[in-house]
Chain A
Amino acid sequence: MRTLSYRFRDLLALEPLTADELRFLLDQSKPFQEIQKHPLKKLATLRGKTVALAFFENSTRTRISFGTAAARLGADTMNLQAEASSIKKGETLLDTAFNLNAMRPDCLVMRHSASGAADYVARHLEIPVVNAGDGTHEHPSQGLLDALTIRDRLGTIENLNVTILGDILHSRVARSNIHLLGKFGCRFTLCGPSIWVPRELEKIAPGTPIRCVYRMEEALEGAHVILMLRVQTERLNDPPLSANDYILLYQLNAERLRRANREAIVLHPGPINRGIEITPEVADGPQSCVLEQVTNGVAVRMAILYLVIAGATESGTHPALEGKPKESANASD
């Protein structure tokens, strides 16, 4: 029988987690992946619990994904979106958080444009806080769902060559991936315009081999995993960078993809700018995992919400496996 051996008060970043804790989170997501294939996807695990979703920055898929994850666990949600919030009326982030907390949710999932915002709020709240993306710092659930997708496709997340392409300086997805996969011996090649790929990135995860290169052909050589980042078109203006130059130098097309390992997979956190950072041919091709990532996102977020709300100190059957034969529980170990 599975023993749930880690307790996560909050999930603010992947950087401080150990390989064992990260593996545990991925393993916990596995049964929830199965749920996504069932005709009836709703569990009662978190019935009576409330998840507060506070998105102080625009988000569609992450917000819907967390909302769907909560619903499939049987929890209720309260929603705060930036436009509808008091932020513009001058309320501080902490006051907004205290007000949400006063409605007694069991967990706060928050997205915010300031790096460290979730960390800051978590220091002041008793309830668990889940970081759904903080500025240009981390996006832990995205890092986990990417790792789950890679493990499903390639059978392992250990000792892989991972190439990340695009605006890495401003990417919370890149940081979460580096901090997760780096703990499993992966080697990173970061590539993009030099202003977005500063050399300092090579030192952000001591112990993890990270190199910055500025020629895409070199970056793709021998890659097992290619992680694309969305080109935020608003960032192309600061500094001024020509979209045509970007396409010329850094667009992932079929010809460039051939330089990677034959079985290499392509991930993209979305939303995709077709024709800018990636050609439709690659985005829709057999090596692309973009829709699996989205499906896995719900499973990962179910696991996160379950672990932070229900806690994980008791040993027992995984909630997604309740009522099923024990062999299947063991099989997923």
Chain B
Amino acid sequence: MLAIKNGRVIDPATNTDAPRDILMEGEKIAEVAQPGGLRVAPGAEVFDAAGLIVAPGFIDLHAHLREPGQESSETIETGTKAAARGGFTAVCCMPNTKPVNDNASVTRFILDRAKATGSVRVWPIGAASEESKGEAIAEIAGMRDAGIVAVSDDGRPIATAKLARQVMDYCRSLDLPVIEHAEDVSLAAGAVMREGVASTRLGLRGMPAAAESVCVARDVQLAELTGARLHIAHLSAKASLEQVRWAKSRGLRVTCEVTPHHFTLSDEDVRYDSRFKMNPPLGAREDRAALLAGLADGTVDAIATDHAPHEPALKDVEFDRAPFGVLGFETALALALEQLVSSGQLSLMRMVELFTSGPAPVLGMERKIASGQPADLTIFSTTREWTYDVNQSPSKSRNSPFDGRKFKGGPMATIVAGRIIYKQ
């Protein structure tokens, strides 16, 4: 039995922003009461959340935990520890492991490892095609029964329009969302950052914003053709967002996510430093402005980290040779507070929605603070001043562009299934 007292509960799903006490029994929320209204049994654990925000457990729709196969960069254990420190109670892990999560046995392995070593809930995403090669459709039904929550060939797009159509058709019948890493690989070939003035000045090969948006355009058309649930991963370009806006206006089941690095940084921040190299790359200033507008007006459904650890030996090379990807778990909430809320662009309620009742429906779930719901909560501060030191991270990797950044506000405690798994 665990009680959270004196906190300010912000729950977008029930439109609550009020002082509430919460009682958890076992793995469920037992009662939500007015302050002081709980009957707590003697000996029950009590967490004093005075001055803190109590929110439904944060969901990250997009992460790479690297297990199996790349355990020198991350494991389910180290990755979920970092996720817990970031306030996440559930993370969806992409299938581009070694081997690729393209069949039920890999899915079961991931879930077994998560049960044995994980701190937060791990929800695997299965590959759309075998080995994500874009040829044959993967064993999606088998993976669904084993526990995947979506399919994706993340790291690359579903190779052809034909296959994307078939996968969407099939996943519609299985009631699974298709998550698309939107990229026209011929337009992006060889590129290491976004094409623009910055890439031209630095002499680094750029990919145009259209490398993403032409693929989004393809996919929203196919979502209309098939009626599938389509979710655009790590959306980074203004033109892509306009495609999603169009799809939503047509009533299509299209959603999208944006990462903290894309709403915080732009291509002008790129140095010859591989910690600023990720795919999709940082966009132009006007893309960032468009993403902020989309986060505010509801076009964007979720904030997702695209946490992509790469061990220093892989990442500490010339910019051209470094793999794409940055860490994301531990700085996501603090960046959202800084960039979205402190700047006045979004209400705290809307920000919480982007981490909770925004992403949950993408997976066909709900996320709210109510009796009978899973006892997953994220408790955070909007005032605590702290500095991110990546060397203190439980992650096995160090590739964060935000190392050394000073923040105001961040995670204070993470509760999964009625247990405090992280406490600042």
Contacts and interface: CB of A to CB of B under 8 A. Distances in A.
B200 A116 contact: no
Nearest to A238: B190
A115 B319 contact: yes
A44 to B, nearest CB: 37
Given A93-B317, A134-B203, A137-B202, A116 B197 contact: no
Interface residues of A, number: 26
Nearest to B320: A114
Given A200-B196, A203-B197, A204-B197, A120 B203 contact: no
Given A169-B200, A204-B201, A115 B317 contact: no
Interface string A306-317: 000000000000
B399 to A, nearest CB: 15
A221 interface: no
A136 B199 CA distance: 10
A201 interface: yes
B203 A137 contact: yes
Interface residues of B, number: 20
Interface string A130-159: 000011111000000000000000000000
Interface string A102-133: 00000000001111110110000000000000
A115 B197 contact: no
A115 B202 contact: yes
Given A94-B316, A112-B318, A115-B319, A200 B203 contact: no
Contacts of B271: 116
A175 interface: yes
A204 B197 CA distance: 6
A63 interface: no
Given A137-B202, A175-B203, A200-B197, A114 B316 contact: no
Contact of A116 (B196, B204, B316): B204
Interface in A47-91: none
B109 interface: no
A205 B201 CA distance: 8
Nearest to A203: B197
B200 A115 contact: no
A13 B120 CA distance: 47
Nearest to A168: B200
A198 interface: yes
Interface centre among B201, B202, B203, B321 (most CB of A within 10 A): B203
A117 B200 CA distance: 16
Nearest to B199: A200
Interface string A8-39: 00000001000000000000000000000000
A114 B200 contact: no
Nearest to B190: A238
A172 interface: yes
A135 B197 contact: no
A198 B206 CA distance: 12
A116 B202 contact: yes
A40 B245 CA distance: 74
A233 interface: no
A204 B200 contact: yes
B272 interface: yes
Contacts of B317: 92-94
Contact of B200 (A94, A112, A135, A201): A201
Contacts of A172: 203
Nearest to A115: B203
Contacts of B199: 200
Interface string A150-181: 00000000000000000001001001000000
A198 B202 CA distance: 14
Contacts of B201: 15, 175, 204-205
A15 B198 CA distance: 13
A204 B201 CA distance: 5
Contact of A136 (B195, B196, B203, B273): B203
A202 to B, nearest CB: 9
Interface string B6-30: 0000000000000000000000000
A114 B277 CA distance: 14
A186 B319 CA distance: 32
Contacts of B205: 136
19 contacts: A92-B316, A112-B318, A115-B204, A115-B319, A116-B271, A116-B272, A116-B318, A117-B272, A120-B273, A120-B319, A134-B203, A135-B203, A136-B203, A169-B200, A172-B203, A175-B203, A201-B200, A203-B197, A204-B200
Query: Which are the 10 A-B pairs with shortest beta-carbon distances?
Result: A116-B272, A137-B203, A136-B203, A115-B203, A114-B318, A200-B200, A114-B320, A204-B201, A203-B197, A119-B272
Given A114-B318, A198-B200, 5 more contacts: A115-B202, A117-B272, A119-B272, A175-B203, A200-B197
Interface of B: 195-197, 199-205, 271-273, 313, 316-321
